[in-house]
Structure 1
Amino acid sequence: MSRGDRVVASGNLSHSMRENYQQGVSEYYGKVGSVYRNPHFPGIRRCMFQWLNRWWQMESTSLSMQDEILMFDMACGRSATIAFREWWELGRKLHESLKRANYGGNALAEPPRKKTQTMPPPIPPEYPQPKIVAADPFTSVAYYERTSLPSSRLSFKDISEGSLPPLQPETSAPESSAVAYPTIDMVICSFALHLVETPSELFSLLWELSSKTRWLVVLAPHKKPEIKEGWGWCKWDIESWTSRRMTDNIPEILHERVHCRVYRSLNV
C-alpha cells in the first residue's frame, strides 16, 4: 500500500483511496464530492506555507500593489484555498503586531515567536486582498460550504480546451480564452493532477495553463505525475530560486508525507 492509499477521512467510502478509485474516479467523487475532506490537510498546510514564504521572499518586490494576486485552486478540495487564506491573514496580523510594537504598543503586540519555515512573513496592508478562483466538477458544494467562495464545475478537459473559472462570483458561465483574463499568479493542484488519465491529456492541460499562469504548484502523496520537457514548464529549485531541467534531481518540499513540487511557466 502506497503512502497515498492510507486515507481515513469523513466523506470517504473506504480507508483506502486505491480501493475507492477501483469503482472509477468520477464515480467515486460523484458519490462523496459534497462531503469530501482531504485527510492530509496538516501536511498540505505546511507545504503551502513553506512555498508561499519563499515565493514572497523572492517575488514580493516585483508584485504590483495595485493588482490583486490571482490564485487558481484547480480541482479544489478546499485545502489549498484554506491554507492560502490562512497564510495571508496570519501575515497581515503579524505586520500589524510589529507595527504596534514599533510605535510603542507593546502590550497589544503578539509575543515573539521562533521563526520557522512555515511562519508567514509580515504582509503590509498596501497589498490588496488576493483573488481566488476555483474549479472542480465534483466538490463545488463542499468547497463553498467550507470557504464561502464559489467554485466552477470545470473539468481538466474543459480547462485544457481554454475555459477558466469566472472572475466574478455572479457570473455563472466559465470564461473562455477569448475573454480578457489577467495572468494567473499561481495554479495550485492538490491531490488531483495524477488523476489525469493519459500523458496526452496531461500535456494538453499543462500546455494550456502554461500560457495563462506563472507558477504551478503540485501537491501529492507521491512524486506523480511526471511532467516532461516541452510541456511549457521548467522545474523550479526554490532554494536557489533557479530553473532546472525536468530530469534534474532537486529537493522537494515534504511535510507529513505530502510532496510539493513547483514549476515555472516558459510561456508567460
Structure 2
Amino acid sequence: MPPRLTRPITGVRNAYASHEAGATGYYADEGARYVNPHDGGVREMLARATRDWPELWGMGKSDDFNDDDADGDEFGDRILDLSCGSGEVTSALVAAGVPLSRIDACDPYTHEAYRKRVGTECERWSFEDVARGAVADRRWRVVVCSFAMHLCARDYLPTLCVMLACSAKHLVLLTPHKRPVIDAAWGGWRLARREARDPYWRIRSRWYSTEPPMDDDVGEGDGEGDDDDDNDDDDVA
C-alpha cells in the first residue's frame, strides 16, 4: 500500500478573508492556478467511495457505455463534477476506473486549471446558474461536489438542491465539516448511506439520494449534528 499523503497544515480560508471580495474574488483571481490543498484527501475518500459504493458509479462499464444502455433510466449513467476546481474529483474517479468519457464538469473560475490537468474542457456553470435553471434539461446519475457547496450563498442553496434533484438521482458531497446541511424539503434529498469520515484528512463524504435509504439505520439528520472534527481555527478550502 503506498504511503499516505501528507495532510496540509493550512488551506485557503485565510486567502478568502484577505481578499476584498472574499471567496468569489479569490477564485476569480486565482482560478487558473488553483490547486485544492486537500487534493490527496479527496482522492483517498473517492477511492473509498468507489470501493464501498460501486453500484453508485456504474463501475465496470466500458468507455463505449452510453445513456442508451442505461435500461431506459432517464437519468442515464453520467457523472457531473460540480464546482470541479482543478479536476481533483474527475482525476480520482478516473484513477478508480470510471471512464473519463462519462464525466462532465463545471466551474466558473477554474476551467483553465481543469483543462490543464484533465485534458478536457468543462462548462462554466456556477451554483447560481444551476439554481436559475441552467442545467434543467440535463440529466446525470450522480453529481459530486467537493469542498465547495458549503460556500454556496444561503439564499441559493435550497433552490440549488431542488434543481439538482430535477437533474440527478444521487448527490455526493465531500466537505471538511458538517456544512452544508441539506434539508429533505429541498428536492427530497436523504442520506442513502451513513456518512463516511477520514479523521486524518478531516473530510466527510455523504451520499444523498432521492430514492429510499439503503441503510436501515440512516436517520434524518445523520451526520449533521456531530461536530467533533469541526474546528473554526483550521483553514479549509
Q: Structure 2: which 5+ runs fail to align?
A: 1-6, 71-75, 213-237
* CA pair 81-59 structure 1, distance change in 2 beyond 3 A: closer
Partner of 2:172: 217
Partner of 1:140: 111
Partner of 1:152: 123
> In the aligned structure 1, how far is the partner of 2:175 from the partner of 2:114?
19
Aligned-pair CA distance for 1:16? 4.8
Aligned-pair CA distance for 1:252? 2.2
Give the TM-score, by structure 2 length: 0.71
Partner of 1:189: 145
Partner of 1:163: 134
Alignment partner for residue 80 of structure 2, among 49, 72, 87?
Answer: 72
Give the TM-score, by structure 1 length: 0.64
Quick check: 1:210–1:266 contact (8 Å CA) kept in 2? no
> In the aligned structure 2, how far is the partner of 1:154 from the partner of 1:253?
29
Most deviating of 252-261 and 213-222: 252-261
Aligned-pair CA distance for 1:29? 0.6
Alignment partner for residue 254 of structure 1, among 198, 201, 224?
Answer: 198
Q: Which has the larger radius of gyration?
A: 1
> In the aligned structure 2, how far is the partner of 1:147 from the partner of 1:16?
22
Quick check: 1:7–1:17 contact (8 Å CA) kept in 2? no
1:150 maps to a residue whose letter is: E
Aligned-pair CA distance for 1:84? 0.5
Question: Identity of counterpart residues, as a percentage?
Answer: 31
Alignment partner for residue 32 of structure 2, among 31, 34, 53?
Answer: 34
Q: Structure 1: which 5+ runs fail to align?
A: 1-5, 9-14, 90-127, 165-176, 238-249
3-state DSSP of counterpart to 2:89 = helix
> In the aligned structure 2, how far is the partner of 1:212 from the partner of 1:159?
10
RMSD, aligned CA: 2.6
Aligned-pair CA distance for 1:44? 0.7
* CA pair 201-266 structure 1, distance change in 2 beyond 3 A: farther
> In the aligned structure 2, how far is the partner of 1:7 from the partner of 1:192?
18
